[in-house]
Amino acid sequence: DTAVSQTPKYLVTQMGNDKSIKCEQNLGHDTMYWYKQDSKKFLKIMFSYNNKELIINETVPNRFSPKSPDKAHLNLHINSLELGDSAVYFCASSLSGRREKLFFGSGTQLSVL
Amino acid sequence: AQSVTQPDIHITVSEGASLELRCNYSYGATPYLFWYVQSPGQGLQLLLKYFSGDTLVQGIKGFEAEFKRSQSSFNLRKPSVHWSDAAEYFCAVGPRNSGNTPLVFGKGTRLSVIA
């Protein structure tokens, strides 16, 4: 069973569209994250949720809206997609924010044309 | 501000040769230190971590890393590289305090292994 699963794995869309990426973890973790990995492989935190509450928002444009319906899910909705949004987006989870127990999903490669 | 520097963007080694990937950090205090590996099309997998104690830590897949406080470094090593080690390697740091401060990652070092 996959611990942290993201869908879709690949997403190709045009500028201006709205898209969502889903993330689910079956580890019983209470903290979930979204990371963005740009074309230069730089991995940067976007959001962190703990028990469905937003605790970190790292200066991400408000076109990005995370939604956590429950502790096991953290979805990422992106409005009005731009070329610069093209990247690989990783979901991750941990228990009580413990960094040594950070589990990553396999990523969603978003390409905006 | 916290930062992690991985000076080598891309390294190529021969199979069976030794490997050292460099990582330097800038932090207010001694942080927790991590090395992750990302295989193509995969998420990040934790290789090893340093919290305290012995400054030489052992990880999975035969990797080890040494914390050197005086140099603010946490270099990753492997005595004999296998072709399956070809991947992207990320060094990361995080604060020692409890809470939800996320890890800060370096920009990664891509490892290529040749026969």
Per-residue pLDDT reduced to its tens digit, B17-62: 999 999 999 987 778 899 999 988 778 899 999 988 899 999 999 9
Task: Give the H or E element holding residue B111.
Answer: strand B109-114
Across-strand partners of B88? B38, B110
Summary mean pLDDT of chain B: 90
Please check whether residue B22 touches A, CB under 8 A: no
The nearest CA of chain B is from the CA of A18 a distance in Å of 24
Q: Residue A34 has what pLDDT?
A: 93
The nearest CA of chain A is from the CA of B107 a distance in Å of 4
* Percent of chain B predicted with pLDDT > 70: 95
Q: Residue A39 has what pLDDT?
A: 81
* Dihedral of alpha carbons A5, B33, B104, A83, sign: negative
Domain A4-112 is classified in which CATH homologous superfamily?
Immunoglobulins (2.60.40.10)
Average pLDDT over residues A89-110: 85
For residue A31, which residues of chain B lie inside 8 Å, CB to CB? Answer: 100
Where in the sequence is the domain holding B79, given as residue range(s)? 3-114
Q: Residue A79 has what pLDDT?
A: 96
Which sequence spans correspond to the domains of chain A? 4-112
Rounded CA-CA distance B14/A12 in Å is: 37
What CA–CA distances, in Å, run from B54 to B10, B21, B50, B51, B95? 29, 20, 9, 9, 19
Task: Give the H or E element holding residue B24.
Answer: strand B24-26
Given a cut of 80, whether residue A40 has pLDDT beyond it is no
User: Looking at per-residue confidence, does B98 or B76 come out higher?
Assistant: B76
Please check whether residue B42 touches A, CB under 8 A: yes
What CA–CA distances, in Å, run from B71 to B9, B31, B63, B90? 20, 14, 20, 18
**Nearest CB to A41: which of B46, B49, B88?**
B88
